[in-house]
Structure 1
Amino acid sequence: MLDDFLLRAALAGLGVGVAAAPLGCFVVWRRMSYFGEATSHAAVLGVAIALGFSLPLMPAILVTALAMARTVSVLSGRGHAMDTLLGVAAHTALAAGLVAVALLPSVRLDPMGYLFGDILAVTRADLAVIWGGALAVLALMTWRWQALLTATLNPDLAHASGLDPRREDMVLTLALAIVVAVAIKVVGVLLIGAMLVIPAAAARPLVRTPEAMALGAALAGGAAALSGLGAAFALDTPAGPTIVCAAAVIFALTVLLGRLRTRTAAGD
């Protein structure tokens, strides 16, 4: 029994790491960390809608996250500063979702599992959803990788190459919504942004190409999931936050390694 639920938890953590890795690189390159936070916070509102109308959880979260991303994108071009919009949207969605869940008369739900994750309670069905979403994100990123890179580096060059940067933005938004939907069980809505940004940032000092950064982010995310899960079990701490702390430790180590490598190269 012990080995079984730990194995499921480890596989779930690896699935989220794999799903978040390539997308996290684009979040870092485009400086979209607050956009990811707003989208993930909307997941709580999606949970409330699913419970209130007896809908499947993942489609409700996907639709809500996409609606949040679309709303912010539309309003950003109408005289509102992007950081202000993201702050308003993120906190409003989170608060509205928590209030809506509390008002549901027939539902008694502990919101902590959705806020911080409950990786130890992952079932076989959850694993299928997590890995299905992870493979979908990987397929989407592989298919649009070069187009996404071009649109990220230079939108004008993307236009000249026959690409539509707005379409690539929608691809990223869809992938982000999928990651939010599959990661909510593992790290919770408050920590999804960290798993997008920290592994990608950890890989950045040690690589030279975008593809290597995506691979390094996947390795860092997987290592954070496994080491954080082991530390949580040994120390009896919450698994989701401990996984994020493990990712932060990996980030600090790669930053130090990057600086040592730079100094060594300069000394030569």
Structure 2
Amino acid sequence: MSLFAKDALSHKHILITGATGGIGYETAKVVAGMGAKVTITGRNEEKLKGLAGELERITAKENVAVLPADLTEKKDRSKLIADAEKAHGFICGLVNSAGVAGGRTVEELDEEFIEKLMNVNYKCTLLLTQEIYKKMMERKEGDIVNLASLSGLRGTHGNTAYAASKFAVVGWTQSMALEAIEHGIRVNAVCPGYVDTEMARNSIRRKAERKGITFEEGMEEAANSIPSGRISTPEEVANTIAFLLTDAAANIVGESVKISGGSVMR
């Protein structure tokens, strides 16, 4: 059952990056159910087609554009924007859900690993946003939601490079928000902790291996570390992102909305 009116985003075209990941996948379904025209992108064409099939059970086929792209490539970023605009017109909502994870202690880090996390999670996401933002400035409207993390708000063991990339996203969100709101554009971030996605499960699996415990024990340990006693669902994060795209969130600017089950309060 939807939390939102079926026409809450009917006036918007929303581009979702990382739509093949758990959070991006669910976000696409939520905003499609709110009436938005949706462009989904990612590198896994098979998963994109599967998502498109699900979206077409929620909204009209013509409201969905499927555009595979590698956002680390400049030509792909530019083509993505041009093709999305051709399909649905002005992009007035952007959800930056694309990202990679990885946990290593400082002595295990190498230059390639650091560059990969910073490139995907921060640099390329910012460059894509910059192109779309310029068009939003011309229209004096737009909403941008960046997927950050609790790791962008506090450090944790074995998480130096990933946390640095997500701290960068939070800092960029706050700084850009101050500039963008002068043009009627809102920029916010969502900061979830563990979410029941493939990426999080892989992270928990690696952590369990380092501790010499089973994956199941690692999942239980992760849940028990949260005051609510469980990790979040992708749908919960998607609903928060969707809310930030609506007019109901019109005066929420530059925030980093935590979804932590009570594990991070400040």
Q: What TM-score comes out, normalization by structure 1 length?
A: 0.30
Q: Which has the higher Rg, Structure 1 or Structure 2?
A: 1
Higher relative contact order (CA 8 A, sep 6+): 1
Q: What TM-score comes out, normalization by structure 2 length?
A: 0.30
